[in-house]
Amino acid sequence: MTSRLDSLERFLAQGRPELLVLVLLGLAVFKAGIAFEVAAQSPTPAFPMPEPGLSPTSYGMPILVTTLNLTGNAAAIGSVMLALTAATLALFAFLLLRHRDDIGFVVATIVLLGPIGVVALGNVGRHDWFVISGSLLLAWKGGSISWALVAIVLMVLGNPEQAFLASAALFLLTLVPSFRFMRKSAILAVTVSGAAMFALSVWVEILGLDSRASWIDYHLGWGLKNFFLNLPLSIYAAYGVGWILIVVLLWRCRGRARFYAIGATIAIPFAVTMVTLDQTRVFVGVSTVVAVLAYRYSALSFIDWMKNVFPGRWRLALLVALIALPAIEITYAGGVRTPFQWIFDFVVGQTSLANAG
């Protein structure tokens, strides 16, 4: 038994990165399952005009569907988005793991097996792929202005409002000295996303369609109710195990920098979450950039602690903990999607339990 555990630890530490990525992605799917909520499949789309409904300014899906000639084919749209989601998570993890860096391992496992991976895999076919993929790119390559521009365009295509709020959170985080290297990219992101949000909102209003702002009054009461009725799940669902690294960041900040860090990682994402019906999905959309940066910043201290508590097998201990501990998604209208739920649903659907009671 001991030798097998040692072999697993060696694989996590020295195994081929592409193989480890596949293992982590497989574990993420096993834990979160896959849920399709395919958007932009209307047989009579308005594109290139804004789509009626709650997301008239989200242009990513309509552009993708029109370009690939998938209009009205929900199955094909879902398959394409599942492939894009899996590829994005796998590529991000590979970029972190290719140099066999301990920090990369921690960040990759928390991202894939935590709320970011759960939301990405649980909302296949919605605009979330654009927001999350752009956020991961911004967190990874945001030090480059050109890459930052590509990243923010992706985020805006998914959801201009979330892109702007995520950019604002990033700018606030760059006021912490350790993240100053992202300041120019954060200013660019705020400017581009803010201009896009304003222009698209004005256009929607001119066309007489409902903007997201027109739904705030409706969402406010329900959002607050769902958030507080799900306490403390609403709080835990935000970062899951990643809360440990967020706390490390806040602990290491001093003076005014701590307030900036709290604003970026807690105040902005939670304020937005509490006024929407989508809860965790929106939190992840707004917080992914700052979360990944915080994880990378705090990982070394966390690793030192893990090595002291689990000497010789800290990677295996972390992986087991991330699989076992729940990454919860508070869904639309206050529902709760839990880990391994798809397994229970499958068993119930295939056995006499479906007719019990």
Q: What is the pLDDT of residues 294-321, one digit of tens each?
A: 999 999 999 999 999 999 999 999 999 9
pLDDT score at 293: 98
* Domain chopping of the chain, boundaries: 22-338
DSSP state of 326: -
Share of the chain above pLDDT 70, in %: 95
Q: Cα separation of 24 and 29, whole Å?
A: 9
Find the range with the poorest average confidence among 28-42, 89-103, 162-176, 195-209: 28-42
- Among 54-58, 98-102, 324-328, name the most confident range: 98-102
User: Which tens digits make up the pLDDT trace of 183-241?
Assistant: 999 999 999 999 999 999 899 888 888 777 666 777 777 888 889 988 899 999 999 99
Mean pLDDT (whole number) for 117-146: 95
Q: What is the pLDDT of residue 333?
A: 75
For the four alpha carbons of 148, 150, 151 and 155, in that order, the dihedral sign comes to positive
Q: Give me the pLDDT at residue 205, please.
A: 86
Closest by CA to 240, choosing from 76, 62, 119, 126, is 119
List, for residues 5-14, the tens digit of each pLDDT value. 889 999 999 9
Residue 271 has pLDDT above 60, yes or no: yes
pLDDT single digits (tens) 39-76: 765 656 778 888 777 778 889 988 998 899 888 888 99
Identify which of 255, 246, 261 has the alpha carbon closest to the alpha carbon of residue 176.
261
Q: Which residues pair with 124 in a beta bridge?
A: 36
Residue 91 in contact with residue 83, Cβ under 8 Å? no
Residue 354 predicted with pLDDT over 60: no
Phi-psi bin for 129: left (phi > 0), alpha (psi -120 to 50), beta? Answer: alpha
Determine the pLDDT at residue 211.
72
pLDDT for the residue 104: 96
Residues in CB range of 52: below 8 A, 6 or more apart: 46, 209, 210
Give the 3-state secondary structure of 27-63: HHHHHHCCCECCCCCCCCCCCCCCCCCCCCCCCHHHH
E strand segments, 48-127: none
User: What percent of the chain has pLDDT above 90?
Assistant: 68
Give mean pLDDT, residues 137-157.
97
Judged against a pLDDT cut of 70, whether residue 355 lies above it is answered with no
Residue 182 has what pLDDT?
A: 98
Find the mean pLDDT for residues 84-93.
97
Q: Is the peptide bond before 48 cis (omega within 30 degrees of 0)?
A: yes
- pLDDT reading at 356 higher than 80: no
Q: Are 168 and 268 in contact (CB under 8 A)?
A: yes
The per-residue pLDDT for 93 is: 97
Q: Please give the pLDDT value at position 166.
A: 98
Question: Whole-number mean pLDDT of the chain?
Answer: 91
How confident is residue 335, by pLDDT bands cut at 50, 70 and 90?
Answer: confident
Residue 156: HSE in the Cβ half-sphere, 13 Å Cα cutoff:
22
Three-state DSSP state, 314: helix
Tell me what pLDDT residue 56 has: 82
